Amino acid sequence: MNSEIIFGDVSKFYGEVLGVNRVSLSLPPGITSLVGPNGSGKTTLMNLMTGLIRPTRGSVSVMGLNPGDAYEFFRAVGYCTQFDSFPRGITGWDFVYDGLRLHGMNHKQAADLTVEALTRVNLGEAAHRKIAGYSKGMRQKVRLAQSIAHHPTVLVLDEPLNGLDPMARAESLALFHELGKQGMHVVISSHVLEEVDRISDRVVMMTGGYVIAVGNIHQVRQEVREKPMQILVRCAHPEVLASKIFELDHCVEAKLHADGAGVFVRTRDVDQFYTVINRIVSEGTVKIEAISPADDDASAIYQYLIGSDGGTA
Amino acid sequence: MSADQIISSKTSLLQRPWRLWFAQIRSIVVLETRRNLLSWRSWWVYFLAFAPACIILLHALFDHGRGRMDEDTLVLAGIFQFYYLRLGIFFGCLGIAMRLIRGEMVERSLHYYLLAPVQREVLLVAKFFAGAVRSVVLFGGAVLASFLLMYAPYGSAGQQFISSDAGRLHLYAYLGITVLACMGYCSIFLLFSMLMKNPTPAALVLMGFEFISSILPPFIQRFSVAANLRHLLPVSIPAEGIFNLLTVTTEPVPVWLAVLGVLVLTAGILAVSCYRMRRLEISYTTE
């Protein structure tokens, strides 16, 4: 069986409004983050993946399955949407349990999996209260519980960290990380780039309905060649290093770190820069403690590609 | 179609997961009934169903002994034919069926069903049965209550009539017509609610059609729930006075044909609804 999620030249238009356009993707198992500003097409892509909407053009296949075969498809797929709404008057327990009964499970199987899922998201105690009385974070958790309760192999999470407190965010990220390590597909859309960046195997960057970059975060950074790469050099005398760096043609900026123990360098030629740094080290002019890329993360790349701050989007 | 093709399609039908589908339909009907059978939001449906029973109860309590049983049999027939069949069940089913799909879209909770491992056609049929069960329980219960309350004041004579062949025939006919009417109207309004955001104007047009259906050509009458069910009524209302306007004598149709007519109509509408359901997309922002 095909293990990938494949978008084949998919476009979706809502009347004359563009949802996504000409998206061709092939996502292997692991954690994939969809990153982009509001209206960039992340939710449309997730809804297409799960059959809630149909492509205007192209095709979507999830591990060779099609949402038209609902029984096979939704046994393999769990989708935690960002619609913050529930059937009226329902408790957290009933919400998860009722969903499992639709899988054709008997009472015991459904009840066992309900307990397991609610415990996994730390919602065991509030399970028998009505969802209408839940906080936003609890509602997010119960949706997550419902989407993982049947042990899917593909988990699609639309803004799953919204409304969660820092502790719950950390727990959720740990859970996603664990599921990703188990070989599942975990597709996450989020605006909190620093957090998803840490656990993602790859990112899909989107804007205006188009996919603009795909791949491992470091690969994507390498592809953004027109933007000078920023490197932080930790050293004892940063002002000395900065003066030497100004002599290099490919370095466009050198800025002292706020703590006075390092310098940020922007260079158009990383390889050349490292050669020069090696020479400086061997000359003994400046004692260098550490060198690390300063903009090799999703937030910086998001800023370069999309032109806004991903962390605050 | 060749013999091989017939065998192949039969085998294909047998290989379908019927047991799973029945189990899923049962689960959804139970779930929907548990969630919606008693709900404050539906007070007006309960009112539609039980208002005549309440009036008959008041009549039994305060107007006891002034009427005759055969007159009350005609009154009951009139209440059933002109109120329940033309108004109560019609609008009750409209309210109930609108909630099944459209209501869940408005409340943004339909996607939970669409993300479950349930074929959309199975979901549609289950939703239909959930609506039909709810309306049958309410209106069947109301009709039963009206029937019993109408004859209760007559004491042993009333009891004797209810347990007689004629009385039981009346009761079974009223309940059977209620079931068929609920099925027919639920299927129509379920489709309406999938075709348009506000099905009420279309429902009013349908009401006009149902009202005049008995004077339309026989072929067109086959598409009317009320026209089919008229042939099953156990008591004919004499066309006198105001009833002259509401009563049209038509060529009699065998009971089996009338029942089959409603069932075929219901099945046909459900088939169209299944097609719509398969193409349904979730776009809550446009609701």
**pLDDT tens profile B112-146:** 999 999 999 999 999 999 999 999 999 999 999 99
* CB of A122 closer than 8 Å to CB of A148: no
Contacts of B278 in chain A (CB under 8 A): 68
- Chain B positions touching A55 (Cβ under 8 A) are none
- The token pair at A238 is 């940063």
Burial B170-204 (b: 16+ CB within 10 A, else e): bbebbbbbbbbbbbbbbbbbbbbbbeeeebeebbe
Residue for token pair 């949706």: A143
User: What is the domain partition of chain B in residue ranges?
Assistant: 22-286
A96, closest residue in chain B (CA to CA): B112
Please return the burial class of B250, using the count of CB atoms within 10 Å of its CB with bins 0-12, 13-18 and 19+: middle
Classify residue A56 by its DSSP letter: S
Q: pLDDT: is B140 or B215 the higher one?
A: B140
pTM of the model: 0.82
A202: enclosing H helix or E strand: strand A202-207
Q: Is residue B153 predicted with pLDDT exceeding 70?
A: yes
**B24 to chain A: nearest residue by CA?**
A102
Of A88, A90, A102, the CB nearest to B118: A102
8 Å CB contact of B109 and A53 = no
CB contact under 8 A, B119 and A71: yes
Q: Which residues pair with A78 in a beta bridge?
A: A155
Which one of A54, A87, A102 has the shortest CB-CB distance to B116?
A: A102
Instruction: Count CB atoms within 10 A of the CB of residue A83.
Output: 17
A262 within 8 A of A234, measured Cβ to Cβ: yes
Q: Which of A74, A83, A98 sits opposite B284 (nearest CB)?
A: A83
Q: Report which listed range, B6-15, B101-110, B230-239, is most confident.
A: B101-110
Q: How far is CA B202 from CA A213, B206, B254, B273, in A?
A: 49, 6, 30, 16
Which residue in B112, B118, B275, B276 has the most chain A C-beta atoms within 10 A of its own C-beta, making it the best mutation to test that interface?
A: B112
| CB-nearest partner of B282 from A47, A102, A146 | A47
- CA-closest candidate to residue B103, choices A52, A84, A88, A132: A88
Q: pLDDT band at A45, cuts 50/70/90?
A: very high
**What residues of B are in the A interface, CB distance below 8 Å?**
17, 20, 23-24, 27-28, 31, 35, 39, 104, 107-109, 111-120, 278-279, 281-284
The answer to whether A238 and A263 have CB atoms below 8 angstroms apart is yes
Q: How many residues does chain B have?
A: 287
Residue B95 CA to residue B44 CA, distance in Å, equals 9
Closest by CA to B127, choosing from B201, B194, B198, B181, is B194
- In 3D space, the residue among A221, A225, A204 whose CA is nearest the CA of residue A213 turns out to be A204
**Cβ atoms of A102 and A150 closer than 8 Å:** no
Q: In angstroms, rounded to a whole number, what is the distance separating the alpha carbons of residues A157 and A200?
A: 13
Average pLDDT, integer, range B256-278: 94
Amino acid at B70: D
Most confident of A86-100, B33-47, B218-232: A86-100
Q: What is the mean pLDDT of residues B198-221?
A: 87
Which chain B positions have a beta carbon within 8 Å of A101's beta carbon? 27, 31
Q: Is the pLDDT of residue A310 over 50?
A: no
Tokens of B54: 């309440």
- Contact between B115 and A74 using a beta-carbon 8 Å cutoff: yes
pLDDT for the residue numbered A141: 92
pLDDT in tens, A187-232: 999 766 666 777 888 989 888 899 988 888 777 766 666 677 788 8
DSSP E strands, A15-76: 17-27, 30-35, 57-62
Task: Assess whether pLDDT exceeds 70 at residue A240.
Answer: yes
Residue B242, pLDDT > 50, answer yes
Q: Across residues B73-93, what is the average pLDDT?
A: 92
CA distance to partner chain A, nearest, from residue B108 (Å):
6
Contacts of B118 in chain A (CB under 8 A): 70-71, 74, 102
Distance of residue A287 Cα from the nearest chain B Cα, in angstroms? 59
Select from B97, B182, B85, B194 the least CA-distant residue to B136: B182
The pLDDT value recorded for residue B29 is 94
More confident residue, B42 or A26: A26
- Chain A residue with minimal CA distance to B36? A88
Closest partner residue to A83 among B17, B23, B108, by Cβ? Answer: B108
- What's the distance, CA B256 to chain centroid? 18
Hey, what domains does chain A have and what are their CATH numbers? Answer: 5-215 (3.40.50.300), 223-312 (3.30.70)
Average pLDDT for A136-164: 91
Number of CB atoms found within 10 A of residue B113's CB: 21
CB contact under 8 A, B281 and A54: yes
